[in-house]
Amino acid sequence: MVKDCATVWRNCLQVIKDNIGEQSYKTWFEPIVPFALKDNVLTIQVPTQFFYEWLEEHYVGLLKKVIYQELGSEGRLEYQIIIDRGDNFNKPQTVNIPTKKVPQAIANSYQPEQHFLKNPFESKSIDRNFLNSQLNASYNFDNYIEGDCNRLARSAGYAVANKPGTTSFNPLMVYGGVGLGKTHLVQAIGNHIKSNNPEKFVLYVSSEKFANQFIESVKTNTIQDFANFYLLVDILIIDDVQFLSGKEKTQEMFFHIFNHLHQAGKQIVMTSDLPPRSLKGLEERLLSRFKWGLTADLQSPDFETRMAIIQKKMQSDGIDIPDNVVEYLAYSVDTNMRELEGVLTSLMAQSLLNRKEIDLELAKGALKHIIEDVEAEVNLDFIQKTVAEYFEVTVDSLKAKTRKKEIVTARQVAMYFAKEFTSHSLKSIGYHFGGRDHSTVIHSVQTVSDLIDTDKKFKASIQELQKKFKVKAG
């Protein structure tokens, strides 16, 4: 069979995606374009020299493995770097950089684990040694920061990880909003069990993948194989079960697998973005099963936990970020930890790309770049600038220590609007006004409200300013 470069690269990406974080995948692999495949040499086009260096430094092992898996030991990867994009009159200019053949050592050591990836149900007798857990090894308990937000879920998860199937936490259901650490926690459970019990078949699967596999098995008339495969599992970790909502047939299949595994004393771990009682479109009999064990929620991490998450991440990436930047990030991104991670990756990339130290300015840029609504909503910078102009003082003076009357008034008004028009917490507003504490913010908001009630002229100025923010906020 003649393979084409797009197919080969697509297969490579499938494996890569399962082995690295989502953000890294987006940053470093999505922009790559497969260019050619000739004599077992796959040429991929990368946007810059820097990009190529980064891939070679951080992902060389992984790339070699996937190339070996796809093209065998003769397979090689070649990079094509765009050095000039060209225009209507000039063709783009590129250079090609070959890499070495897959070294024998890597080729020898590589265990083809694709049994599950390719077509898990093709053979009747499944060799358990080839089963792939689909776990991402970088998620563990050591790098899962504990805080008030996750204490119950984490300790229940840890108990399950140590005694799968034998605690009363079966099933364990973890729920919480996007980016609060559900996947990380359940993967940590899986990795922990796997390293303590290599003989057990731990399987991590997203509900989306489960549903797609099921649909595929219906199409190809292999439902029985599908079911048999899942019945082999010792620890089933199924992520984002809300995805099964409305999919009746898939739910029915899951219900049977669930019952069978549970009866056999196998551990089941699930996540969902809502508590079971609020999950719409899931059958009652399934929901009632979810409640047999323990349901634990994840809340948004508090400021200190966010700081610790950033620090842990820096540590594992071997980067150094000044304290004021860490604080700024922890204040600014306060719910979705995946966004926080995205900001960090982007910061690292920009710092390397522009050969600049990571500082507050770069961090502010990275935040704008990643979190789109920072720009869309009326932000603190805009409020400070507008209020400062109106009162004819400088933005810096709003953040300074000075207690001059006209500056104090402008500062209080700006804080008042920050409270009204942004989603920043009192603590965060104080932080952005020269590190004042939240009680100062409360006092300012109160003072301005009182003045609006008692001073007509003042009220008129506030209304005038308010219009500017309302227009922007839409």
Query: Could you say whether residue 180 binds ligand ADP (CB under 6 A)?
Result: yes
How many Å apart are CA 395 and CA 46, to the nearest integer? 42
Q: What is d(CA 160, CA 170) in angstroms, rounded to the nearest whole number?
A: 8
- Which of 44, 59, 70, 182 binds ligand ADP (CB under 6 A)? It is 182
The stretch among 72-80, 182-190, 371-379, 438-446 that binds Mg ion (CB under 5 A) is 182-190
Exactly one of 8, 32, 126, 145 binds ligand ADP (CB under 6 A); that residue is: 145
Q: How far is the CB of 292 from ligand ADP (least distance, A)?
A: 23
| Cα 321 from Cα 9, distance rounded (Å) | 35
- Rounded distance between C-alpha atoms, residue 421 and residue 414, angstroms: 10
For residue 71, the surrounding DSSP H or E stretch is helix 60-71
Q: How far is the CB of 214 from ligand ADP (least distance, A)?
A: 22
Q: Which of 82, 17, 8, 10 is nearest to 41 (CA)?
A: 8
Answer for the pair 78, 44: CB distance below 8 angstroms, yes or no.
yes
The window from 337-345, 362-370, 395-403, 441-449 that contacts ligand ADP (CB under 6 A) reads: 337-345
Is residue 150 near ligand ADP by the rule CB under 6 A? yes
Choose the contact partner of 65 out of ligand ADP, Mg ion, none; CB within 5 to 8 A by kind: none
Q: Is 281 annotated as a binding residue?
A: no
Q: Is residue 338 a contact residue for ligand ADP (CB under 6 A)?
A: yes
Chain positions 339 to 368 lying near ligand ADP, rule: CB under 6 A, are: 341
Of the two residues 319 and 462, which places its CB atom closer to ligand ADP in the complex? 319
> Of 51-59, 89-97, 178-186, 356-364, which part binds ligand ADP (CB under 6 A)?
178-186
On whether the CB atoms of residues 176 and 182 are closer than 8 A, the answer is: yes
136 scored as a contact of Mg ion (CB under 5 A): no
Task: Pick between residue 334 and residue 341 the one whose CB is nearest to ligand ADP.
Answer: 341
Give SS3 for 463.
Answer: helix
Size of the site for ligand ADP (CB under 6 A): 18
Q: Which one of Mg ion, ligand ADP, none is in contact with 247 (Cβ closer than 5 to 8 A by kind)?
A: none
183 binds Mg ion (CB under 5 A): yes
Dump the DSSP string for 34-57: EEEEETTEEEEEES-HHHHHHHHH
175 - beta bridge partners? 272, 297
In the 8-state DSSP scheme, what is residue 382?
A: H
Strands 267-272 and 172-175, bridge-based pairing = parallel
Separation of alpha carbons 61 and 354, rounded Å = 26
Tell me the per-residue interface mask from 18 to 57 with ligand ADP, x by CB under 6 A, - otherwise: ---x------------------------------------
Q: Is the dihedral of CA 406, 411, 412, 417 positive or negative?
A: positive
CB of 338 to Mg ion, least distance (A): 8
According to the annotation, is 404 in a ligand binding site?
A: no
Are 268 and 171 in contact by the 8 Å Cβ rule? The answer is yes
From the CB of 183, what's the least distance to Mg ion, in Å? 3
- From the list 141-149, 177-185, 310-318, 434-442, the region that binds Mg ion by CB under 5 A is 177-185
Q: How far apart are CA 54 and CA 120, in angstroms?
A: 34
**In which residue are the tokens 């500017």 written?**
468
Task: Provide φ and ψ at 271, rounded to 5°.
Answer: -130, 160
Q: Which residue has the tokens 């030991």?
A: 73
The span from the CA of 170 to the CA of 234, in Å, is: 13
Span near ligand ADP by CB under 6 A; candidates 174-182, 241-249, 373-381, 387-395: 174-182
- String of contacts with ligand ADP for each residue 97-126, x by CB under 6 A: ------------------------------
**Residue 174 is which amino acid?**
V
**Which residues have CB under 8 Å from 84's CB, separation 6+?**
90, 92, 93
Q: In the complex, which residue's CB is closest to ligand ADP?
A: 181
**183 vs 346, beta carbon nearer Mg ion:** 183
Which listed residue (64, 184, 262, 424) binds ligand ADP by CB under 6 A? 184
272 binds Mg ion (CB under 5 A): no
Residue span binding Mg ion (CB under 5 A) among the ranges 151-159, 179-187, 371-379, 442-450: 179-187
Helix axes 438-454, 405-421, angle to 10 degrees: 100
The rounded Cα 11 to chain-centroid distance in angstroms is 22
Is 182 annotated to bind a ligand? Reply is yes
The response to whether 91 counts as a known ligand-binding position is no
Question: Which amino acids are annotated as binding site for ATP, given as ranges?
Answer: 179, 181-183
The binding site for Mg ion (CB under 5 A) comprises 182-183
The binding site for ligand ADP (CB under 6 A) comprises 21, 143-145, 150, 176, 178-184, 309, 312, 337-338, 341
